[in-house]
Each structure stands twice: as structure tokens, then as C-alpha cells.
Structure 1
Amino acid sequence: MHSDKPARTAAKVRKTRRFWAWMLGALIIVVLDQLTKGYVDSHLAYGERWHLLPFFNITLLYNPGAAFSFLADGHGWQRWLFTAIALGAAGLIVNLLRRSPGQLLFCSSLMAILGGAVGNLVDRMQHGHVIDFLLFYWNSWYFPAFNVADVAITCGAALLLLDEVLRIRRERRSKARKAA
């Protein structure tokens, strides 16, 4: 009688290794985010700017709110709301990564979002605000300052949308083949 156990064990080991690879990727994003924020926070005074390009500065700003300073004037309670949201999102993402570590695009997007969410969570817990320093502008128009964690979250969201579009396209093709 042939046992299926070695094949199941090998598959489980591969799945576990992939999961931990995604977690390592998220950790690398967190470390890169925290190193860049720490560097800027220790080398610039609040509001100071290093002019690098005619449309880009490094500047030190603190954001107690969320994206685009949403709820920045919340008098401190928003810190705990955004902390709870980040913890909930992190838990959900870790669960999704554990269940589907072999889906390359999907997990890449989740890894980036997780790394960015945790990077900003560290700031909220440590400082009560998020450190932003990347500032793009043109003449008198300024895009809100952001950081490496925000870039990771944005790229992760874009990859997640791409993954969903490709999934829908695959389903349509599969249905069309079955109907033909």
C-alpha cells in the first residue's frame, strides 16, 4: 500500500517556507521604512527641507492622521483608531498569506501592504504620529508628504487590483472555453 504522507509533508513544508518568505519580505519593508524615517527625523528639524529636484524635496513632517492627513485634528483619539485598524488589517493579511502563500501576485500585494501598515503602526505606537518626508510639488501645488510605508501600501493596493483584474479575466476565459 502506497502512502501519500511524504508528498503531503513536502507540500506543507513548501507552503510554510513560502509563508515565511512573505513575512520576511514584509519585515524588510518595515526595516527600510523605519531606517529612512529615523534618518530623516535625526537629520532634519521639523519642517526643514532638503531641495533635491525642482519638483521633489525631503522634508520632515509629522502626520497624526491617516492618508492625506485624514483626521489629523482628532486630538489624539485617532491614534488608537488607526492602531486598531492596522492591527486588524495585519491579522487578516497574515491569515491570507498563511492560507495562500503560493499565489505570487496576490501575496506580493499583501506583503507590501502588511509591511507598510506595520511600518506606520510602529510610528503611531512610538511617536503618536507617522513620520512623512517625501514631498513632491509643482510650482505652488503640493502632493501630501508621504514615506516608504505609504509607497509600499500604494504599490500593494495596485498589485491587489491587478491580481483581481487578472483573476476575473481568467474566470471569463475559463467560462468561455467551457461554453464552447
Structure 2
Amino acid sequence: MKRGLTLAALVILLDQIGKMLILDLMQPPRVIEILPGFNLVLAMNRGVSFSLFASHADSAPYLLSGLAVAVCAGLLWWLRRGDAPATAVGLVIGGALGNVIDRLRFGAVVDFLDVHWQTWHWPAFNVADSAISLGAALLVFDALFSHPHHGKMPPP
């Protein structure tokens, strides 16, 4: 549990520092090319991943934050049981809470990483989103490959 919570705290810290720096750097909002195919931008996401469920309703940030906190509570319960992949769960918790902080502070999530190829742009994202994606991928990997005898009889 300690490893998962430490990683979650580190993700929150890095995410919030990155967002603080980008909010200062991107005034006025503009595009800064870092490398071909990689820019810094300032986007305020009022939804979840890829702006799904985006809403300008006053209650939306609180509803999305409540959902994220509920998911984190379930993950914390799993982590506390001792059988959760701590690294994966810590990444998801840290990323989710990093974005909750934004929703409560700004009413939207600060996204700033822009990956593109020619005119096709992946939706802007942030450190928290990256941690959630990596953590989710690790959870899938763990479910598929780390417990080969789960629910089955061990080989003779």
C-alpha cells in the first residue's frame, strides 16, 4: 500500500507542478513547438478523456470529481487488501486525483501536451492523463499475464 500511495502522491505533485508552469508560460494562450509533432498548448477540458461528457453546467465538475473520487476509493480498498498491483493502482489514483484538483480549482482540467502528425492532432492531455493511461495498461497486463493459474487448478 505504501508504494501505491507514494506513487500516487508523486503523480499528483508532478502533475500539479506541470500545470502551474504551463498556466504561467501560456499567458496569453498560444502554441509552442517543442519538437516536430509535439507542441505545448493550453486547453481546458470540461469533460473526461477526449472531452467525453463535456459540459458547461455548474454541477459538472463536482459530478465528475465525485465519480473520480468514488473510483479512487474502490482502488484504495483494493490496494489496502494487499493483492492489487500497487504501481498500476497508484498511477491511476494519482492521475485521477490530479485531475480532480483541477476540476475543483478551475471547473475544468488543464491539458497542455499536444502530439500531432501533420494536421491530425491527438486530443491534448497532461501528466495525470498519462499516469491514468499507463496505470490502466498495467492493470490490463497484470490481469492477462500475472496470474496464470487464477481460478484454475495448478499444473501437476
TM-score, normalization by structure 1? 0.80
Q: 1:70 to 1:36 in 2, by over 3 A?
A: same
Q: 1:83 to 1:140 in 2, by over 3 A?
A: same
Structure showing the higher helix proportion among its residues: 1
Aligned length: 156
Amino acid of the residue matched to residue 93 of structure 2? L
Amino acid of the residue matched to residue 38 of structure 1? M
Pairwise mapping of residues 1-180 of structure 1 onto structure 2 (< 5 A)? 19-45=1-27, 47-100=29-82, 106-167=85-146, 169-171=148-150, 175=153, 177-178=155-156
* CA–CA distance in structure 1, aligned partners of residues 95 and 120 of structure 2: 26
**SS at the partner of 1:72?**
coil
Pair member with larger Rg: 1
Q: Give runs of ≥4 in structure 1 deviating > 6 Å.
A: none
Counterpart residue number, 1:7: none
**SS at the partner of 2:149?**
helix
TM-score, normalization by structure 2? 0.92
Instruction: Please tell me whether the aligned partners of residues 68 and 100 of structure 2 are also in contact (alpha carbons under 8 angstroms).
Output: yes
Q: CA deviation at 1:168?
A: 5.0
Give me the CA root mean square deviation. Answer: 1.8
For structure 1, list consecutive stretches of 5 or more residues without a partner in the other structure: 1-18
Instruction: Please tell me whether the aligned partners of residues 56 and 135 of structure 1 are also in contact (alpha carbons under 8 angstroms).
Output: yes
* CA–CA distance in structure 2, aligned partners of residues 59 and 118 of structure 1: 22
Greater relative CO (CA pairs within 8 A, separation 6+): 2
